[in-house]
Amino acid sequence: MKIRALATAISAAALALTVAGCAKDDTSTTTESGIELVKEGTLTICTHLPYEPFEFTEGGEVVGFDPDVLKIAADAEGLETEVLDVAWETITTGEALNTEKCDVGAGAMTINDERAAVMDFTDPYFTATQALMTKTGSGITSLEDLAGKKIAVQDGTTGADYVRENAPEDAEIISFEDSSLMQQAVRTGKTDAGVNDNGLLNYFVSQNPDVEVVTEFETGEEYGFSVKKDGNAELLQAINDGIASDEYDEVYEKWFGTAPAE
């Protein structure tokens, strides 16, 4: 879904995680079920923070829907989980997997042909659309209403692509390096509106009543987790088993308040 640049304002704890994930781990191993790991006994997950409610830091710990879904597979294999905060483009290009920073890439990542050419995707685990967020009561209800106005997007996201293709020609598109900066630009009035994934924006407005989602755009996007291209079919199957499990439904309801649609 997005090609996000590494945030310049990250916490010391997140930076420590990033540095820890930069070097190849010499303790790589293969489990009894054939899953190849970069670190013995641990499923190492690369993501880019924050992207609530999919992954974010709370109380010094990375939490969210994505880590919880991946924990289903980890628990079934008797593995711990570790989440590394890395530059988004290293995930979407397959670099983080190929250099063995991690076993799996995560981050509300839309499955597309370009990414599938450099990594293997799990079955889809979340269906998304793009959403338009404004200040509450702004009177803006569509992209067409943003002629001559400012629209916030996130660097390299499918939402940014959608806006560039569909916004009025005289709209000013302002790109931010992470989702929190993009959302705050709308909330503080720096921009008139913002476009990003509906799961992200709907969660944000539930916490901030001074902004609202006024419409969504059906783009047919589905999220997937990624593993090394042609390199870890056993891990791919373990994650797919987790996505298909009853535990997945429980995790979905925990973060989104309802059971997933059939």
Q: Of 116, 120, 142, 147, give the one whose Cα is nearest residue 131.
A: 142
- Are residues 103 and 159 located together in one domain of the fold? no
Sign of CA dihedral 221, 219, 258, 193: positive
- Are residues 35 and 121 located together in one domain of the fold? yes
Q: How confident is the model at residue 138 (pLDDT cuts 50, 70, 90)?
A: very high
- Are residues 23 and 74 located together in one domain of the fold? yes
Q: How confident is the model at residue 72 (pLDDT cuts 50, 70, 90)?
A: very high
- Are residues 22 and 119 located together in one domain of the fold? yes
- Are residues 159 and 208 located together in one domain of the fold? yes
- Are residues 120 and 132 located together in one domain of the fold? no
| Residue 2 in domain | no
Q: Count CA within 13 A, CB hemisphere, residue 206.
A: 11
- Are residues 76 and 176 located together in one domain of the fold? no
Per-residue pLDDT reduced to its tens digit, 9-24: 334 344 344 434 444 4
- Are residues 176 and 115 located together in one domain of the fold? no
Residues of the domain holding 173: 128-221
pLDDT above 90 for 37: yes
Per-residue pLDDT reduced to its tens digit, 165-201: 999 999 999 999 888 999 999 999 999 999 999 989 9
What is the phi-psi region of residue 110: left when phi exceeds 0, alpha when psi lies from -120 to 50, beta otherwise? beta
Q: What is the pLDDT of residue 1?
A: 54
Instruction: Enumerate residues 6+ apart whose C-beta is below 8 A from 190.
Output: 150, 152, 174, 184
Identify the DSSP state of 209.
Answer: T
pLDDT above 50 for 8: no
At residue 29, the 3 state secondary structure works out as strand
Q: How confident is the model at residue 257 (pLDDT cuts 50, 70, 90)?
A: confident
Give the count of domains, the chain.
2
